[in-house]
Structure 1
């Protein structure tokens, strides 16, 4: 990567600095339109922590913390994210004696180990407020990191994630619904015992549709039946198998890759551009799923994108059942040219009967990228009030 590219990645410019007067942490619970089951368990409600930052000038920025109620996807969880925000992250920023800027969050909070999802939520809310203040969209801001001549897409091809079903018939019915709606890629959640047969039936029923699987770290390299099942998936011409082994087991992924023709994609294992680079260089994966919250925010995600674009490593944008607040920002990231595979940027009605913003709609297999200032969408106050469980206000001293 050239020095000029690195300079373009420095988005911590003074025009985005602001002085917060109030920060609200809002816990919400949105019913899902259908239960969503993975190897971790089944969700019927999306519990989320929203951050609302209001500046001294009256500008408001929003973000969504991706942490789940339980520490299953990662060690982070909703109550823990709220605690570390209130007791450590926000006080540390306030004690810095500076105007706050999204680009300064990572460095100022670096002494706090981990807690990337909480840090990402804080960074994103500040970035939204800062960009709203100067009338610039996320996607236009992200475009500043691109090489000369490269431009973001106006519409992002949309994939959809299909949970583990109660039966093969139920799975096929759900996939048929999404294919009829126009989703251009299907991702099936798998686990030991629910893998080869479901994939075979979906491939048989829907022909050459783009298809991939996600194990959420449910398999083990030292269990012969697990390895045999993953190898058997090679028959079905999958785009990739996502995170088959535990996040920490890079050596296991390297060994597994020697047995598979299907490319391995890592998700939970990648928490920074350094992790992504190391995993690819080791041969643990060939494709990377980028979830901004998992890597600590959109600015680290942009560094990861710049590396992948220069290295030719395929990326796609993952999802965490986001409301319209998180989905809007993810669409801006997924619009960048390094994201060459359809991501989990599904329409609002895939998950919610009523979203917290104007719903994102699938049209021709793609979703339009917001172009308004900041994340580009407004929060529906009535929809928010209907699902708010509690609110905590934090004021800088």
Structure 2
């Protein structure tokens, strides 16, 4: 393939309800789509981060600069544009994994469309559908939380994840356990809100039989997470601390995590995400695919990853209606607690023109015409 044109489409889609974590509260999915046109096919991807560098160091305006000034010129200079050549070209730019993931995914989408191959087939998926969990943000009251959990269970979600932070942890978890029983698959996500000094407090979560506690301490501190895991019966799951397969191997060797959450955007794309999966799977460590409130453009390839053999825990690949009254693709609909893995070529979806127009704030050419 040869790169012909690259367009950035800045979208803002209201969430059906505010989503609060220890980082803050989101009311709108405000990001950009990357549209890559080659001489053989077109590809789409979604930048996973936000307008502000709160969840991670990358943000919308910064990623556009990195793409325009550094990544795209190297992609355009390649004699053959494909993912095999793109990855080493992008390595010359340090960091910026989410920007790299956006470009790699759009190119991979175009490449696979030109072959007529679904992403699920390319990655090695073994399932036609995947079980869907749901992430429940921090609420104003315990009553609000219980109402939300009851509603999601009524919709068929097979696993509940509760966002927690200091002051909102033991009581909401206890309330959910008492209301919905010990059989409910339940886990918590701290989004790095605690320190090792909170180990005794976090150990009190052991009584609730949780699947895992996700990223309880500051990211990239594998030693502290290993020390914490020694004191907890609940498995520690790492998310923000795992930037690649190498980090994953180190964390497993140190017993800093006993479960792995892989977010493709955070590790630089689906090729590295598959390597993260392979490392964990080879060591018998369960994997699941996390979410970043993606539109259908980001959700579709996540479902392909979640269908890999090592992804034995339900992920955050919820239905479109969990976040949006209207998505920019055909909606993903929950059926018996599962979502279908797209089987059309590439990522399997494309934006609906009408919906894309309604939610587009701005379009800009980054390369080409």
Please classify the TM superposition score into its range, dividing by the shorter chain length.
Answer: over 0.9
Pick the aligned partner of 2:98 from 109, 117, 141: 117
Which residue of structure 1 aligns with residue 137 of structure 2? 163
Verify: 1:45 aligned to 2:28, yes or no. yes
Which residue of structure 2 aligns with residue 104 of structure 1? 85
Cα separation, 1, equivalents of 2:217 and 2:255: 14
Pairwise CA RMSD: 1.1
State how 1:327-342 maps to structure 2 within 5 Å.
327-342=299-314
Matched-pair contact (CA < 8 Å) for 2:3–2:75: no
TM-score when scaled to structure 1? 0.91
Which residue of structure 2 aligns with residue 288 of structure 1? 260
State how 1:336-355 maps to structure 2 within 5 Å.
336-355=308-327
Verify: 1:20 aligned to 2:3, yes or no. yes
Which residue of structure 2 aligns with residue 92 of structure 1? 74
Which residue of structure 2 aligns with residue 215 of structure 1? 190
Which residue of structure 2 aligns with residue 13 of structure 1? none
Matched-pair contact (CA < 8 Å) for 2:237–2:257: yes
- Residues 96-121 of structure 1: per-residue CA shift (max 9 Å, x gap): 4x121123222111111100000000
State how 1:1-397 maps to structure 2 within 5 Å.
18-57=1-40, 59-96=41-78, 98-143=79-124, 152-207=126-181, 208-222=183-197, 226-396=198-368
Matched-pair contact (CA < 8 Å) for 1:67–1:78: yes
Count of matched residue pairs: 368
TM-score when scaled to structure 2? 0.98
Q: CA deviation at 1:396?
A: 4.3
Q: Secondary structure at the match of 1:90?
A: helix
Matched-pair contact (CA < 8 Å) for 1:137–1:372: yes
Cα separation, 2, equivalents of 1:370 and 1:111: 33
Q: CA deviation at 1:227?
A: 2.2
Q: CA deviation at 1:251?
A: 1.4
